[in-house]
Amino acid sequence: MLESLVTTAAGALLATVGVLVGGAVTRRAQDQQWNRDQQLAAYQEVFTHYAKFTMELRRAHGDRRGWDYDWGEWSAALLRVSLVAPAEVATEVENFGRAIDTFLDQVERGDRTPLRDPLSPEEFEAARQAPAAAQVRLVNAIRRSFGDDHRELPFGLGG
């Protein structure tokens, strides 16, 4: 009878440990998936804003008209990335933001505005090269952060 009791207790203990370990592993996997989903949403938001304001600014130069953008939303999108991005990605987001700022200095601030002295399509594209290169570096940092199965891209898409 003692042998039966020990066997039953050991089986119950192992089953309990299995449930606890399985729960912990499942919880960790769910947390990682949630974090990845949050990262992806934040990255998408940054790239959506970048594509929108770049296209709007390109059109403003082409049409010799004014334009406006909600820079508070851009700043908020960058802040959201800083909350969820790994350090390497956050560094590239910072570099991307600086490249955007330099780009805006060339195409919107000072004398070269769409209304005062619009850029030709070729000049606009030349000014856009630094942010485009920073975008590629950022995309590749994001791809690396998602795992080894994402090869780096030698080119940018969109923007």
pLDDT of residue 30: 76
pLDDT of residue 155: 65
pLDDT in tens, the chain (159 residues): 777 777 777 666 666 767 666 666 666 767 788 889 999 999 999 999 999 999 999 999 999 999 998 899 999 999 999 999 999 999 999 999 999 999 999 998 878 889 889 999 999 999 999 999 999 999 999 999 988 677 776 667 665
Closest of 140, 30, 38 to residue 82, by C-alpha: 38
Q: Is 28 among the domain residues? A: no
Q: Is 5 among the domain residues? A: no
Q: Is 126 among the domain residues? A: yes
User: What b/e sequence results for 14-45 when a residue is b if at least 16 CB atoms lie within 10 Å of its CB, and e otherwise?
Assistant: eeeeeeeeeeeeeeeeeeeeeeeeebeebbeb
Q: Is 3 among the domain residues? A: no
Q: How far is CA 22 from CA 26, 35, 41, 94, in A?
A: 6, 20, 28, 39
Q: Is 6 among the domain residues? A: no
Q: Is 76 among the domain residues? A: yes
Q: What is the pTM of this model?
A: 0.78
Query: Number of H helices and number of E strands within the chain?
Result: 5, 0
Closest of 108, 130, 120, 122 to residue 56, by C-alpha: 108
Long-range contacts of 142-147 (CB under 8 A, 24+ apart): 142/39, 142/43, 142/89, 142/92, 144/88, 145/39, 145/85, 145/86, 145/88, 145/89, 146/36
Number of domains in the chain: 1
Q: Is 134 among the domain residues? A: yes
Q: Is 23 among the domain residues? A: no
Range of the domain at 100: 36-145
**CB 54 within 8 Å of CB 159:** yes
Distance of alpha carbon 22 from its chain centroid, rounded? 32
